[in-house]
Homo-oligomer: A and B are copies of this chain.
């Protein structure tokens, strides 16, 4: 996609020559109307149009002014994945909202392979970055840091020194678990997001949890476990199944496995609504009634959560607001002290109920 339009070569200089003024005056005609007489300005604009001038070249301007009018957005994982994840979408929506209010463009940077990451992030013509849920030691994060531009960090509570926005994942998860425990559930299982960025799935051991690259996964796990221990149950007995890419299918498989184990868990704590929905499908497949036989609690409260049957009990986090605030902090060039911890709220719907009494 090269641009080889000889037509486009109309430049400030050309039109200055045509009108018989200096380049500066022409530039002013576009950018500082108050710096020259209306007539002259009008004349210049007219000639510019006639000559097919397209307005100040963005790259020239950017080089000169040092800013671009765009903010960069870096997701973990591939874009096509991000755009399939309701969580990311909601976040994006929030970012977009403040962007358009501020007339800022949004540059979405694909982060695919280690080789390319460097190139792509270094090349990004942006005034700052929003970094969304990157794993702890990712290449992408390193590259973003190198740019030494303003950064806002989202869902990466371990990254210090930058304004950030996140939720109290531990507390939110704690409440989800406490909800089931209060309903007398004794046998819980956890369906988790990724701990490490290696696309492994299956049963998780403690070491993997401690080495987690995704702090939010770690903290949600901690919240679940804290509640379980507080209730006097043995946390070690709680199985944790890790799913790849927040995918419903992966959770479906994980839940199938969990629900076939004995003793069968009566409650499933899912770290996202998508995972929870996968678990619901598994329950359906096995002929288990929700919530009579099994309770499921999700996380996020994506739009779908309240549309499926049974409606999903979940912990709501303000995803769109998260995006909106992140963009705001970036555009304001806020200091790290302006970081925000957003509120979450347990939303009890139909997928959770009293633990079955006459279990097998």
Chain A contacts to B: CB under 8 angstroms: 1-3, 5, 7-8, 52, 54-63, 66-71, 78-80, 82-84, 89, 92-94, 96-97, 99-101, 103-110, 112, 116, 118-120, 122-125, 127-128, 146-150, 304, 307-309, 330-333
Contact = CB atoms under 8 A, between A and B. Distances in A.
Contacts of A79: 93, 96-97, 99-100, 106
Contact of A58 (B56, B106, B124): B124
15 contacts: A1-B128, A1-B331, A2-B67, A7-B148, A54-B148, A70-B107, A79-B96, A80-B96, A89-B89, A96-B110, A99-B110, A104-B110, A105-B109, A106-B107, A108-B108
Contacts of A149: 3
A78 B106 CA distance: 13
Nearest to A106: B108
Contacts of A106: 79, 107-108, 110
Identical copies of this chain, number? 2
A311 B59 CA distance: 50
Contacts of A96: 78-80, 82-83, 108, 110
A81 to B, nearest CB: 9
A62 B66 CA distance: 13
B80 A84 contact: no
A120 B101 CA distance: 12
B107 A80 contact: no
